[in-house]
Amino acid sequence: MCGITGIFAFNTIGRINLVHLEAATRSLEKRGPDAHNSWFDHVVGLGHRRLSIIDTSNAANQPMADQSGRYRLVFNGEIYNYQQLRQELRSLGHTFQTDSDTEVLLTAYIQWEEGVLDRLNGFFAFAIYDQENESLFVARDRFGIKPLLYFKDEDKFIFASEMKSLMAYGVPRSIDKESLHLYFQLTYIPAPKSIFEGVEKLAPGHFIRMQNGVFEKKQYYQLPFKSAPELAPGPGTNAKLIDALRQAVHDRLVSDVPLGAFLSGGIDSSIITALASEQVSQLKTFSIGFKDNAFFDETHYANLVAEKYRTDHHVFSLTNDDLLSEVSQMVDYIDEPFADSSALPVYLLSRKTREHVTVALSGDGADELFTGYNKHSAWLMAMQGGLKSNLVKSLKPVWGALPHSRNNRLTNTFRQLDRFAEMKGLNLQQRYWLLASFIPQDVVSRLLKTHQSVDGLMEAFTSRMASGDINEVLASDVEMVLQGDMLHKVDLMSMANGLEVRVPFLDHRVVDLAFNMQEKCKIQGSQRKIVLREAFRGYLPEELYSRPKHGFEVPLLHWFRKEMSAELDEYVFNQDRIESIGIMDPKQITRIKRKLHSINPGDSPILIWSIYVFNKWHERFNPSMT
């Protein structure tokens, strides 16, 4: 696990930027606190920051050269099947000087070139330079667990794990208007877009090759989506899932440093903990609790799992003041606008966990594979229709007139009913986009002075929608929400604290299995994650099956009305600041402030948080708007 950066020069002008390599590498220090190095010649520069996990010796540091000196690699991630690959490569005549997965990856590329990508089980972003051919090969893992951004012009190609590293090369800082609108609708910017014009995120399952002035980008992996899945509910399907997840967990336990698991008390992390505990005695587990909000505190359920499997359990009980005190530090680490407020507790959980271990397993990915969200139930209900569904739609004027807020159960129900009624009148693509968005497009259009449609992007991101089958929704979730929001959040917040997080549910064999399951394996009526619940019923305390699903919630409405009001007056409601930035309509900012303090705040806290994060980011990066 590390941070990587590099530059590939097409001509003499491009080589000038090689002088920025050290600064670009240094900016990734938190991702790799254990070692750093760089290497360059007249064509390429490669930089690396290392978090040592497998073979912690200096011999495994990067950039790593092969034994001939022809190839050099910088690599962020882990290859879980590196030991099997090593054996195969040895049978083909290769020798090794380290015990690292890095050397195995480099040797495997030399042997199979781009074909190596189909053989890898892991998460990664890497670049390999062939000094003899003066070519560069760059790749990202199947699901986008590890990030990779790049900038290309007529002189150079630059890549990095984080935006701040790209900025160290002097990349232009002109805001992309489509991305700006996406951010305020979704609270994040999905690949391949980024906040800056000319900067792209390499999409999951893609690689880039450059040689002799030719730039080639190619997809090597696609979700194994099937229009007619074969696996039906039953013991056989359950057994397949148990076997696949057990193997995925086993593979992710390889480590030469202390390892543990996040344990929230939900089904997903509890399954991972149960399977890991089969193989690790007194597994270290970590939960976060909320002293000031018992409704969102899940430590009771986590404790039940910890007791059942006799884990070495650590509970970090936080107050709202604990969360609030870390807001500025967390926001300051964000180098592209990202407004999922649950990043804050993930940041704190990662920091506390890092005091005990260097690697943690998590249950991320299960919601997107097996229907973990309320929106999945809403989708199914809308598709099935019926009296109840039609009644909710017909009462839309009523729902719209009632108070909306995520801050308590009743007003959140009104919000959900109003959203459902609106969804019923839309086509499949529009319906999915509504469920994926937090702020409607018309609200964003009024807020921003840059009048920009994202209809083309919406169509691209919702292209899976054909029949309305739940697997189409889940595939869209994996391709947009999972990589753009959930995985980005965990990577960013864990790497800010030098912690590696591994996600067994996103083993490609588990994903293959999940998309070969029929809809009724996953969701029927209000029941979700059916196959997970049934397959692992004997593994988990029964009490977990009767509890509601919660996520990491941050009390934004309370903070914004009280503790953070002065901060908002400076960074959100300050008319001079809004005018100087020149991107938002001051009148709309005033309207949003009134809504925040009304009896019907709706989703104004989310929009205000998005504005706050954006303005703090704008202050640090000072971008332009063309």
Residues 253 and 162 in one domain: no
Residues 109 and 161 in one domain: yes
Residues 565 and 513 in one domain: no
Least confident of 131-145, 225-239, 290-304, 499-513: 290-304
CA 461 to centroid of chain Cα atoms: 16
List the catalytic residue out of 1, 2, 89, 496: 2
Query: What is the pLDDT at residue 54?
Result: 79
Query: What is the pLDDT at residue 451?
Result: 83
Residues 534 and 562 in one domain: no
Query: What is the pLDDT at residue 397?
Result: 66
Tell me the C-alpha to C-alpha distance, in Å, between residue 224 and each of 316, 364, 538, 571: 39, 19, 29, 45
pLDDT at 285 over 80: yes
Which pLDDT band holds residue 450 (cuts at 50, 70, 90)? Answer: confident
Which pLDDT band holds residue 382 (cuts at 50, 70, 90)? Answer: confident
Domain-ending residue, one of 156, 185, 219: 219
Which pLDDT band holds residue 371 (cuts at 50, 70, 90)? Answer: very high
Number of helices followed by number of strands (H, E) in the chain? 30, 19
pLDDT at 347 over 90: yes
- Of all helices (H) and strands (E), which one includes residue 496? none
Judge whether 521 counts as a catalytic residue.
Answer: no
Residues 570 and 529 in one domain: no
Range of the domain at 621: 555-626
Name 244's Cβ contacts closer than 8 Å, sequence gap at least 6: 507, 509, 510, 513
Range 473-491 average pLDDT: 96
Q: How many domains does the chain have?
A: 3
Task: Tell whether 376 is covered by a domain.
Answer: no
Alpha helices in 310-373 (DSSP H): 320-324, 327-333, 343-354, 366-370
Range 258-287 average pLDDT: 96
pLDDT at 127 over 70: yes
Task: Tell whether 302 is covered by a domain.
Answer: yes
Nearest one of 478, 204, 488 to 346, comparing CA atoms: 488
Query: What is the pLDDT at residue 546?
Result: 79
Question: What is the pLDDT of the chain when averaged over all its residues?
Answer: 91
Residue written as token pair 């947009």 = 480
Which pLDDT band holds residue 56 (cuts at 50, 70, 90)? Answer: confident
CA 544 to centroid of chain Cα atoms: 26
Task: Tell whether 482 is covered by a domain.
Answer: no
Residues 169 and 89 in one domain: yes
Report the SS3 class of residue 276: helix
Residues 279 and 187 in one domain: no
pLDDT at 213 over 90: no
Task: Tell whether 496 is covered by a domain.
Answer: no
Tell whether pTM > 0.85.
Answer: yes
Range 37-60 average pLDDT: 86
Residues 560 and 534 in one domain: no
pLDDT at 193 over 70: yes
Tell me the C-alpha to C-alpha distance, in Å, between residue 538 and each of 266, 312, 528, 543: 15, 22, 18, 12
Task: Tell whether 463 is covered by a domain.
Answer: no
pLDDT at 514 over 80: yes
Least confident of 5-14, 460-469, 526-535, 561-570: 5-14
Query: What is the pLDDT at residue 425?
Result: 77
pLDDT at 424 over 80: no
Query: What is the pLDDT at residue 408?
Result: 63
Task: Tell whether 597 is covered by a domain.
Answer: yes
Range 554-561 average pLDDT: 89
- Of all helices (H) and strands (E), which one includes residue 238? helix 235-251
